[in-house]
């Protein structure tokens, strides 16, 4: 396959769709309507495919097809006889098809969300380059940019329900659209390595999530911290991929005890996930989260000094967020899993709401 698009192309791809021009350059869409932009980009992506590719990329949206996603690397699902992921992987696309695919992802997300997603993709490419020299011949597990899949579930529409899925190792973006309402839950973001250098700069795909959380835990009073810090070790997500429909009892400190500044810090932390979508959807979701803030819990497990790996959870009436370093200290700071859910509205089940 031809050379993959570089990180330099990220801004170019995003700029082309935000001004209403999809991959082919022919189509314009209303500048303020995220769903209309996504529909146009999805139609252009599907039009770029052969009939055989289109049959794999565009599936019927059902309660079963929408759950075929994972944060695991390519090869693990195959070992247990399961479907790897919906859609086509980037390695199976021509350069022009890949450009159309990424234009669809960019059209679906905010600029910051798209940059975060592509930084996660780049991290997996770094992991592939590091692991390839020591990989055993014939090993099924693979990493890298080419192993990320894109699918369209249902018919792209500005009025009817449909979905976009984009994911691979440490990434599972699921966006359900119904009219102008866009729902990002459930979605997984992660990174390994959590920090790397590219083009002479340091990239931390989930760095703001980490730093904002440590700022919040540092701001708590001794009494608040006593309630927030769990008396157990948590080394993975509790409600990660494959746990749709499940729930847990909330734990930690209630945000009703927070000062105005602490509340603002918590909302800024939540926005790191909510803001993966564009402003209209993100602001509406944050308004919903703020409406239930007094019933929202913040829980913590692990060290409270930044630079070390710690688990945290945010759980409220309309939001469930987990951040879970993997493995044992000190290596766990370089391998992160996170989960974003709305336990009342995953996949947009609560029709007419976000």
Q: How far from 289 is each of 255, 343, 346, CA to CA, in Å?
A: 11, 13, 15
Paired sense of beta strands 149-153 and 297-301, if any: unpaired
Task: Decide: 306 and 210 in contact? Cβ < 8 Å.
Answer: yes
Q: What is the pTM of this model?
A: 0.91
Q: How far from 98 is each of 91, 150, 217, CA to CA, in Å?
A: 9, 10, 41
Confidence band of 29 (pLDDT split at 50, 70, 90): very low
Across 239-245, average pLDDT: 95
pLDDT at 240 over 50: yes
pLDDT one-digit tens code per residue, 34-54: 999 999 999 999 999 999 999
Residue with tokens 């336990």: 343
The rounded percent of the chain whose pLDDT value lies above 90 is 80
- CA torsion sign for 122, 125, 129, 130 is positive
Which pair of structure tokens corresponds to residue 14? 């995003």
CA–CA gap between residue 129 and residue 138 (Å, rounded): 17
CA–CA gap between residue 309 and residue 343 (Å, rounded): 26
pLDDT one-digit tens code per residue, 198-215: 889 999 999 999 999 999
Residues 6+ apart with CB under 8 A from 274: 184, 282, 285, 286, 289, 319, 340
Backbone dihedral angles phi then psi of residue 186, each to the nearest 5 degrees? -85, 140
pLDDT one-digit tens code per residue, 108-135: 999 999 999 999 999 999 999 999 999 8
The rounded percent of the chain whose pLDDT value lies above 70 is 88
- Classify residue 3 by its DSSP letter: P
The domain limits of the chain are: 8-179, 205-348
**Res 179: pLDDT:** 94
pLDDT one-digit tens code per residue, 130-169: 999 998 887 888 899 999 999 999 999 999 999 999 999 9
Residue with tokens 């055993």: 136
Q: How far from 130 is each of 133, 143, 307, CA to CA, in Å?
A: 7, 10, 23
pLDDT, the chain, mean: 90
Residues 6+ apart with CB under 8 A from 103: 13, 16, 17, 22, 23, 41, 44, 45
């Amino acid at each position: 396959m031809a050379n993959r698009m570089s990180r330099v192309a990220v801004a170019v791809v995003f700029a082309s769709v935000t001004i209403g021009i999809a991959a082919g350059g022919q189509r314009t869409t209303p500048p303020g309507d995220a769903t209309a932009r996504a529909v146009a980009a999805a139609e252009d992506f599907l039009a770029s495919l052969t009939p055989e590719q289109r049959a794999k990329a565009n599936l019927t949206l059902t309660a079963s097809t929408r759950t075929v996603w994972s944060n695991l690397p390519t090869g693990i699902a195959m070992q247990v006889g399961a479907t790897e992921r919906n859609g086509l992987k980037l390695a199976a696309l021509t350069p022009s098809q890949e450009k159309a695919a990424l234009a669809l992802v960019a059209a679906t997300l905010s600029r910051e969300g798209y940059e975060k997603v592509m930084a996660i993709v780049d991290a997996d490419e770094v992991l592939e380059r590091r692991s390839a020299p020591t990989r055993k011949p014939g090993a099924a597990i693979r990493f890298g940019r080419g192993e990320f899949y894109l699918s369209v579930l249902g018919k792209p529409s500005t009025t009817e329900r449909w979905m976009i899925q984009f994911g691979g190792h440490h990434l599972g973006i699921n966006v359900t659209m119904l009219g102008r309402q866009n729902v990002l839950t459930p979605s997984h973001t992660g990174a390994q390595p959590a920090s790397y250098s590219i083009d002479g700069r340091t990239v931390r795909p989930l760095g703001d999530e980490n730093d904002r959380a440590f700022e919040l835990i540092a701001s708590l009073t001794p009494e608040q911290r006593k309630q927030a810090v769990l008396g157990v070790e948590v080394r993975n997500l509790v409600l990660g991929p494959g746990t749709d429909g499940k729930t847990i009892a909330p734990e930690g400190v209630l945000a009703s005890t927070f000062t105005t500044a602490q509340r603002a810090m918590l909302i800024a932390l939540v926005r790191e996930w909510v803001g993966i979508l564009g402003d209209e959807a993100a602001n509406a979701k944050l308004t919903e989260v703020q409406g239930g803030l007094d019933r929202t819990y913040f829980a913590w497990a692990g060290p409270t000094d930044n630079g070390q790996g710690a688990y945290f959870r945010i759980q409220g009436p309309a939001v469930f967020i987990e951040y879970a370093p993997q493995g044992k200290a000190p290596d766990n700071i370089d391998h992160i899993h996170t989960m974003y859910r709305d336990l009342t509205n995953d996949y947009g089940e609560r029709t007419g709401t976000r």
